Structure formats: structure tokens, C-alpha cells
């Protein structure tokens, strides 16, 4: 199951094994700070539940704003979606590589947004 999350609380409520992403332009309106809290909550939950060999990453959306994407990398986000121009993606990937970060340019399709579907409906699907 692919879920769109908006808060660290959403991450905590997500079913085990669900892949988590934020909206494609999340950092542009919610800020890198909240995105970092979402990412960190995912790693903390994985560690607390002693899940080994799990990816533990949440795809954080930065839209087409290269400056926001750069800030996300600089602040510690390690799995970033960006819709920037190809020339800028190349530059961002050059920054990301030494940090162990990844820039994704294909936003996943078929995700269920918890804000539209609600946790009750998601629980029924998992």
C-alpha cells in the first residue's frame, strides 16, 4: 500500500509495510522542518519496532523548486522527489550523492491520501 502522509502522526498510524510519501510539493507549503520531522519519525518507528532490512525511507516532495530541494538535502532529507528541469536535477543529484541522498523524478502513482480517504477506510484496505 502506498500512502500519502502529512504529519509525523500519520507516519505513526500507517500500517506496517506501507510505503509512505508526502504530497509532491509538500516542502513548498509545509516547510523542510516538518518534512524532516516526518522522515525522522519513520526512522524512529522502524527502530522501535525492530524492523530490520526495511527501507525506512519516506519520499519527501519538493515540487519544482530547486531551492527548496537544496534546503531539504542540506537539512538532512535523504529521499527527495523533485520536478525541476533536467539540468537542475543533475546539479541536485551531484549534491545529493555524497550525502547518501536520492533524488526521484517520477512521482509514484496510485497512492491513497489519508486526508481524502480517512484512517477508517485505510484500515479496511490493509
Which pLDDT tens digit goes with each residue over 73-97? 999 999 999 999 999 999 999 999 9
- Which of 61, 48, 57 lies closest to 78, judged by CA? 57
Domain count, the chain: 1
73 touches 99 (CB < 8 A) = yes
Which pLDDT tens digit goes with each residue over 14-38? 887 889 999 999 999 999 999 999 9
Quote the mean pLDDT of the chain: 89
Q: What is the pTM of this model?
A: 0.86
For cell 502522509, name the residue. 5
Q: Is the pLDDT of residue 56 over 60?
A: no
Give the pLDDT band (50/70/90) at residue 121: confident
Q: What is d(CA 29, CA 7) in angstroms, rounded to the nearest whole number?
A: 13
Q: Which three cell numbers stand for residue 85?
A: 528541469
How far, CA to CA in Å, does 112 sit from each of 18, 43, 66, 123?
11, 21, 26, 12
Tell me which residue range forms the domain holding 46.
Answer: 2-125
Amino acid at each position: 500500500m502506498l500512502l500519502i502522509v502529512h504529519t509525523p502522526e500519520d507516519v505513526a498510524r500507517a500500517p506496517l509495510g506501507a510505503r509512505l510519501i508526502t504530497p509532491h510539493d509538500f516542502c513548498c507549503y509545509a516547510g523542510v522542518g516538518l518534512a524532516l520531522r516526518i522522515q525522522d519519525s519513520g526512522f524512529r518507528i522502524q527502530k522501535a519496532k525492530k524492523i530490520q532490512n526495511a527501507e525506512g525511507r519516506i519520499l519527501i516532495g519538493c515540487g519544482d523548486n530547486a531551492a527548496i530541494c537544496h534546503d531539504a538535502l542540506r537539512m538532512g532529507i535523504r529521499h527527495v522527489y523533485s520536478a525541476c528541469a533536467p539540468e537542475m536535477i543533475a546539479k541536485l543529484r551531484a549534491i545529493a550523492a555524497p550525502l547518501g541522498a536520492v533524488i526521484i523524478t517520477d512521482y509514484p502513482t496510485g497512492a491513497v491520501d489519508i486526508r481524502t480517504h480517512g484512517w477508517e477506510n485505510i484500515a479496511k484496505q490493509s
